[in-house]
C-alpha cells in the first residue's frame, strides 16, 4: 500500500484527503519509486484551490526524490537502487510510492542529498531558466526579485549575483530580510512597510530595474510595472497572491515600451535534452556553492494540510519538504 494525498474538490487545505492505494506494476517506460522526500511548492496550492485545473480526482506535487524499486518494460537508463529525482510533474508527488515515466527522471549525483533534490529540482530549474533563458542576465544589470527569501528566490538571488547582477529583493519581514541579504541581495525592501516602486526608483537613481521577477501576482503586478526602466522586462512566473487582473497591452507602451512574459518550467524542459541540461545546471550550481539547499521546514506527508497552511500564510522560509 502507498499513502498518498488526493484532491476530489477545490478549496482550502481541508480538501486534502489521505488515501491508501495499491499500485499496479510499472508500465512500459515507467519505474516504481520509493519516494524519500517530496518538494512543497506554491504551485501545489494552485491545483488544490482550482487556480490551475486538473481532472478529479488528482494528486498534488510535481517534484520529489527517491529510489528505483522496479523497472517497467523497455527501461534501460535506470537500474533498481538508483537514486533519482524529478521536478516537472505530472501531479502526484505527494505519495510514498509512485510509478513514474523514466523519460522525466534524472539520476542524482552523490553530492546531492535526497532532501536537497526534492527541494531544489523544480525551484532550481525554475531559477535556471529564468536567469539563463527567459532572460540571459548580464553583468551590471539590476534585477528586482519578489519573495527573495522564498523557495525560488533563495536560489535565484545567489545565482543572479554569480552572474554579476545587482539584486534588489522584496520580503515581508525583518527575519526574511536577513535571509535575503545572506543570500546575496544588495538591497532589501520590506513590502509591508515600504512602497516598492518608490524604493526601487530611489535605489536606482530614478532609472528603474532591467528585469522584474515576480512570483506574487495580483498584489505586486501594478507596482512591478512601475519599477522597470524603459524597455525593461517583466517576468511573471507565479500567482502567490492570486492571478493578476487583465490589462490592456497599450499599458506596456505607456509605461515605457515594456516587455512582458508569463513562462512556465514545462516549456523549458519539454525535451529530454532540455531536462538534462537544466538538471545538470542545478546540480553543478549546488556542487560549486552557487546555491545552497536551505530546507528549513519539514512535515510528515500525512500533515500536508498543515504545510499548505504555513505556505499560504507566508510563514515558511527557504525550501520545505514533505517526508513519507
Is a pLDDT exceeding 90 seen at residue 240?
Answer: no
Residue of 52, 135, 62, 133 whose CA lies nearest to 100 = 62
- 276 with 143, same domain? no
Confidence of residue 239 (pLDDT cuts 50, 70, 90): confident
Domain housing 22: 2-120+269-323
Of 151 and 195, which is predicted with more confidence?
195
Residue of 89, 70, 78, 84 whose CA lies nearest to 32 = 70
- 260 with 273, same domain? no
Confidence of residue 151 (pLDDT cuts 50, 70, 90): confident
- 23 with 87, same domain? yes
- 127 with 26, same domain? no
**Mean pLDDT for the chain overall:** 96
Cβ neighbour number for residue 36 with a 10 Å cutoff: 20
- 172 with 78, same domain? no
Name every residue whose Cβ is closer than 8 Å to that of residue 28 and which is 6 or more positions away in sequence.
72, 73, 74
Query: What is the percent of the chain where pLDDT is above 90?
Result: 90
Is a pLDDT exceeding 80 seen at residue 67?
Answer: yes
- pLDDT (tens digit, 9 = 90+) per residue, 100-122? 999 999 999 999 999 999 999 99
Q: 265, 290, 315: which is the final residue of a domain? A: 265
Name every residue whose Cβ is closer than 8 Å to that of residue 282 and which is 6 or more positions away in sequence.
120, 121, 124, 125, 127, 128, 291
Residue of 227, 90, 255, 125 whose CA lies nearest to 169 = 227
- 203 with 255, same domain? yes
Q: How far apart are CA 81 and CA 197, in angstroms?
A: 51
Q: 265, 297, 313: which is the final residue of a domain? A: 265
- pLDDT (tens digit, 9 = 90+) per residue, 198-234? 999 999 999 999 999 999 999 999 999 999 999 999 9
- 10 with 104, same domain? yes
Contact between residue 77 and residue 136 where contact means Cβ atoms under 8 Å apart = no
Domain CATH number, residue 273: 3.90.180.10
Domain count for the chain, please give it: 2
- 217 with 276, same domain? no
- 252 with 273, same domain? no
- 190 with 161, same domain? yes
Compute CA distances 43 → 39, 66, 126, 248, whole Å.
11, 21, 12, 26
Give 122's strand partners: none
Domain CATH number, residue 200: 3.40.50.720
- 141 with 250, same domain? yes
Give me the helices (H) in 7-144, please: 42-49, 114-129
- 99 with 11, same domain? yes
Q: 265, 288, 310: which is the final residue of a domain? A: 265
Least confident of 10-14, 80-84, 289-293: 289-293
Three cell numbers, residue 312: 499560504
Amino acid at each position: 500500500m502507498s499513502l498518498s494525498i488526493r484532491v476530489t474538490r477545490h478549496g482550502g487545505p481541508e480538501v486534502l484527503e489521505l488515501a491508501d492505494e495499491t499500485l499496479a506494476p510499472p508500465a512500459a517506460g515507467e519505474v516504481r519509486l520509493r519516494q524519500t522526500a517530496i518538494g512543497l511548492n506554491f504551485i501545489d496550492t494552485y491545483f488544490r484551490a482550482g487556480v490551475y485545473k486538473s481532472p478529479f480526482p488528482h494528486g498534488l506535487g510535481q517534484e520529489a526524490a527517491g529510489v528505483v524499486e522496479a523497472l517497467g518494460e523497455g527501461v534501460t537508463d535506470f537500474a533498481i537502487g538508483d537514486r533519482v529525482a524529478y521536478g516537472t510533474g505530472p501531479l502526484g508527488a505527494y505519495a510514498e510510492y509512485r510509478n513514474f515515466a523514466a523519460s522525466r527522471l534524472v539520476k542524482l549525483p552523490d553530492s546531492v542529498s535526497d532532501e536537497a533534490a526534492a527541494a531544489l529540482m523544480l525551484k532550481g530549474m525554475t531559477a535556471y531558466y529564468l536567469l539563463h533563458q527567459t532572460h540571459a542576465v548580464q553583468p551590471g544589470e539590476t534585477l528586482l526579485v519578489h519573495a527573495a527569501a522564498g523557495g525560488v528566490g533563495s536560489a535565484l538571488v545567489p545565482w543572479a549575483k554569480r552572474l554579476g547582477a545587482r539584486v534588489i529583493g522584496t520580503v515581508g519581514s525583518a527575519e526574511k530580510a536577513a535571509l535575503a541579504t545572506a543570500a546575496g541581495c544588495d538591497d532589501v525592501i520590506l513590502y509591508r512597510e515600504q512602497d516598492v516602486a518608490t524604493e526601487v526608483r530611489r535605489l536606482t537613481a530614478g532609472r528603474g530595474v532591467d528585469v522584474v521577477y515576480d512570483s506574487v501576482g495580483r498584489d505586486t503586478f501594478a507596482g512591478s510595472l512601475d519599477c522597470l526602466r524603459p524597455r525593461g522586462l517583466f517576468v511573471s512566473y507565479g500567482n502567490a497572491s492570486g492571478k493578476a487582473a487583465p490589462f490592456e497591452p497599450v499599458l506596456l507602451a505607456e509605461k515605457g515600451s515594456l516587455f512582458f512574459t508569463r513562462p512556465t518550467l514545462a516549456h523549458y524542459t519539454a525535451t529530454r535534452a532540455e531536462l538534462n541540461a537544466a538538471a545538470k545546471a542545478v546540480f553543478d550550481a549546488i556542487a560549486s556553492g552557487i546555491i545552497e539547499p536551505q530546507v528549513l521546514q519539514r512535515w510528515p506527508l500525512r500533515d500536508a494540510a498543515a504545510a499548505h497552511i504555513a505556505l499560504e500564510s507566508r510563514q515558511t522560509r527557504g525550501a520545505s519538504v514533505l517526508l513519507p
